[in-house]
Amino acid sequence: MTRKVTKAIFPVAGLGTRFLPATKSIPKEIMTLVDRPLIQYAIDEARAAGIREFIFVTSRGKGALEDYFDHSPILEQELRRKGKDKLLEVLKSTNMDSGAIAYIRQHKALGLGHAVWCARRLLDPKEPFAVILPDDVIAAEKPCLQQMVEAYEEHGGSMVAAMEVPAEKVSSYGVLDIKEDMGDMVSVKGMVEKPAPGTEPSNLAVIGRYILDPAVMNNLNQMKSGAGGEIQLTDAIADEIGTERGVYGYRFSGQRFDCGSKAGFLQATIAFGLSRDDLRDELQEYLDELSAVRAAAQ
State the average pLDDT over residues 191-211. Answer: 87
**Helix, strand, or coil (residue 10):** strand
Q: What is the pTM of this model?
A: 0.89
State the average pLDDT over residues 223-234. Answer: 75
What spatial distance separates the first Cα and last Cα of the chain, rounded to whole Å?
62
Is 7-260 in CATH node 3.90.550.10? yes
pLDDT at 214: 92
Digit-coded pLDDT (tens) for 75-128: 888 888 888 888 888 887 787 776 788 989 888 888 888 999 999 999 988 999
Confidence class of residue 19 from pLDDT cuts 50, 70 and 90?
A: confident
162: closest CA among 220, 219, 214, 203?
A: 203
State the average pLDDT over residues 17-39. Answer: 89
| Alpha-carbon gap, residue 55 to 67, rounded angstroms | 15
| CB 219, CB 239: distance < 8 Å | yes
What value does the mean pLDDT of the chain take? 88
Say if residue 266's pLDDT is above 80. Answer: yes
pLDDT at 87: 86
- Residue ranges per domain, the chain? 7-260, 271-298
Q: Which helix (H) or strand (E) holds 48?
A: helix 38-48
